[in-house]
Amino acid sequence: MLYRTAGQFKTSYVADQALFPVRQDAVLLTIILIFGWVIFPMTASEFTFQTLLIPILIYALAAMGLNILTGFAGQLSLGTGAFMGVGAYACYKMVTLFPWMNPIVAILLSGVFSAGIGVAFGIPSLRIKGFYLAIATLAAQFFLVWLFEKWSWLYNYNASGAIQVPNLEMFGVFVSGPQAASVTEYYIVLFVVTLLTLLCINLTRGNLGRTWKATRDMDIAAELIGINLMKSKLTAFAVSSYVVGVAGALYVFMWKGAAEPNVFDIPLSFQVLFIAIIGGLGSIMGNYLGAILIVGLPVVLNVVAGTQVFEISTGSALLLAALIAAATFLFGVARNLWGMAAAIGFGAATLIYGYAQLQGFRIESALIEHINVMIVGALIIFFLIIEPHGLNQLWRLIREKLIIWPFPH
């Protein structure tokens, strides 16, 4: 009912090609943007900024970069972490060499360096395909991380070998470093992410995006209809690495505050890949959904387990458990019996856990960490089984059902 499209006529090609041909989509996005730009910053606590809002945005951005390469252009990459590192180190060198530089400009420029390196490592993709290419990108991953460690010029000959974010000012306000307020950092991240998302949406809808998709679906056929494969693949590597590099700069400058080379090691690459795949390859919105799940879930699990530093009332723990149960149930209903059974099982486990919390039952924090890893692994398999095309596809199905509701077809 809320999503009824009846009466929305398109009378021109421009209207048909609009970013949101359905009015409700635009309304929904406006609501989300209002939440992101106004309501969250006004209500969020320091903890929420640092563990949920900022990392979710940064990871979503990194996943979007990877998604352009893997989801739109079809080139599997396992080196995302290293390219994030290139962005972070480039940004660090820029702000220490040119302290007068505007931090946002530095962050946006740092992507240029990772784009260059991305293109260099993308050249083999012209000959190597599929899993061979995936392993080839691992060469970039391991080599670059080794370079971050051994090339001391990169971290200004620090004794620690880590890069430390200095206090950076913009218009008299600290925007990065230990003295910056979380809200400022959040707004900068949000600004950059919004900007790049807009850019990516339009790139993937345009001419370039169509050549990428043709390359992905069958590169020989694409070549036969006159697409320059070299141009298509290398632009995909460039744009993707640019976005990933900017995400890396944000990761260190707006969130972590300091980084050692091993931060950019292979687990980071995989985390970003998870987000892109769970969110849905070949979609923009999926990256956000995936980031919310992959970044948000461990936090929620921790909070439910009651091991976080701050006190959480058992009431809200129970509420969270119920929410997770409801959400998984919804996912289950949207798919099949198998998914539903798993969702009910998971929901019941969470509820029992919440009840045990109520009774004063606590588990050691180390064990929680291990169980967290286990649950994330199981969830990845679970989501792949119930919806291999990702959360984005799930949302698309729900939206289609809403549009024709209350009719079944």
Partner 1 sequence: MEFLADVFVTPFVDMVQAPDFLMQVLWEGLVSGILYALIALGFVLIFRSSRIFNFAQGIMVVFAALTLVGLFALGVPAWLSVGLTLVVMFVLAVVIERVVLRPLVGQPDIILFMATIGITLFLIGFGETIFGGENKVMITEELGIPTGDTVLEPFGGLLILQHLDITVVIVATLLVLALLAFLNYTQMGRAIRALGDDHQAALSVGISLQTIWVLVWFIAGIIALVTGIAWGARAGVSFALEVIAYKALPVLMLGGLESITGAIVGGLMIGILEKLFEIYWGQPLLGGNTETWFAFVLALIVLLFRPQGLFGERIIERV
Rounded Cα distance between 133 and 115, Å, is 18
Identify the H or E element spanning 397. helix 390-404
DSSP per residue, 245-286: HHHHHHIIIIIISEE-GGGGSHHHHHHHHHHHHHH-TT-SHH
Q: Apex CA 128: angle with CA 123 and CA 129, to 5°?
A: 120
Terminal Cα distance for the chain, rounded: 14
Q: Where are the beta strands (DSSP E) in 160-215?
A: 163-164, 168-170, 173-176
State the virtual CA torsion across 57, 63, 69, 70 in degrees, nearest 10: -150
Q: Is 273 in the site for partner 1 (CB under 8 A)?
A: yes
Q: Is 376 in the site for partner 1 (CB under 8 A)?
A: yes
Contact range with partner 1 by CB under 8 A, out of 5-13, 102-110, 124-132, 305-313 = 124-132
Q: Is 303 in the site for partner 1 (CB under 8 A)?
A: no
Q: Is 6 in the site for partner 1 (CB under 8 A)?
A: no
Q: Is 230 in the site for partner 1 (CB under 8 A)?
A: no
Q: Judged by CB, which is closer to partner 1: 83, or 253? A: 83
C-alpha separations of 198 from 42, 285, 290 in Å? 24, 11, 18
C-alpha separations of 364 from 304, 369, 371 in Å? 13, 9, 11
Rounded Cα distance between 387 and 278, Å, is 9
Contact range with partner 1 by CB under 8 A, out of 47-55, 104-112, 218-226, 285-293 = 218-226
Q: Is 135 in the site for partner 1 (CB under 8 A)?
A: yes
Q: State which of residues 33, 333, 356, 374 lies at the interface with partner 1 (CB under 8 A).
A: 374
Q: Is 361 in the site for partner 1 (CB under 8 A)?
A: no
CB of 100 to partner 1, least distance (A): 33
Q: Is 28 in the site for partner 1 (CB under 8 A)?
A: no
Q: Is 341 in the site for partner 1 (CB under 8 A)?
A: no
Rounded Cα distance between 175 and 165, Å, is 11
Q: Is 120 in the site for partner 1 (CB under 8 A)?
A: no
Contact range with partner 1 by CB under 8 A, out of 95-103, 205-213, 308-316, 378-386 = 378-386
Q: State which of residues 190, 281, 295, 317 lies at the interface with partner 1 (CB under 8 A).
A: 281
Place of tokens 């992959």: 294
80, 237 Cβ separation under 8 angstroms: no
Q: Which residue type, as a one-letter code, is found at position 314?
A: T
Residues 139-168 that bind partner 1 (CB under 8 A): 139, 142-143, 145-146, 149-150
Per-residue binder mask for partner 1 (CB under 8 A), 59-98, x = binder: -----------x-----x----------------------
Q: Is 220 in the site for partner 1 (CB under 8 A)?
A: yes
Q: State which of residues 2, 42, 97, 381 lies at the interface with partner 1 (CB under 8 A).
A: 381
Contact range with partner 1 by CB under 8 A, out of 3-11, 58-66, 190-198, 373-381 = 373-381
Rounded Cα distance between 284 and 266, Å, is 23
Q: State which of residues 20, 338, 361, 405 lies at the interface with partner 1 (CB under 8 A).
A: 338
Q: Judged by CB, which is closer to partner 1: 10, or 370? A: 370
State the virtual CA torsion across 268, 389, 376, 250 in degrees, nearest 10: 30
Tokens of 325: 């149960």
Q: Judged by CB, which is closer to partner 1: 159, or 220? A: 220
| Parallel, antiparallel or unpaired: strands 163-164 and 258-259 | antiparallel
Q: State which of residues 180, 203, 252, 277 lies at the interface with partner 1 (CB under 8 A).
A: 277
CB of 316 to partner 1, least distance (A): 25
Residue 400: half-sphere exposure toward Cβ, Cα within 13 Å: 8
CB of 374 to partner 1, least distance (A): 3
Contact range with partner 1 by CB under 8 A, out of 19-27, 58-66, 87-95, 380-388 = 380-388
Q: Is 404 in the site for partner 1 (CB under 8 A)?
A: no
- The answer for residues whose C-beta is within 8 angstroms of residue 366's C-beta and 6 or more apart is none
| Total of residues contacting partner 1 (CB under 8 A) | 49
The footprint of partner 1 (CB under 8 A) covers: 70, 76, 124, 127-132, 134-136, 138-139, 142-143, 145-146, 149-150, 218, 220-221, 224, 266, 270, 273-274, 277, 281, 338, 366-367, 369-381, 384-385, 388
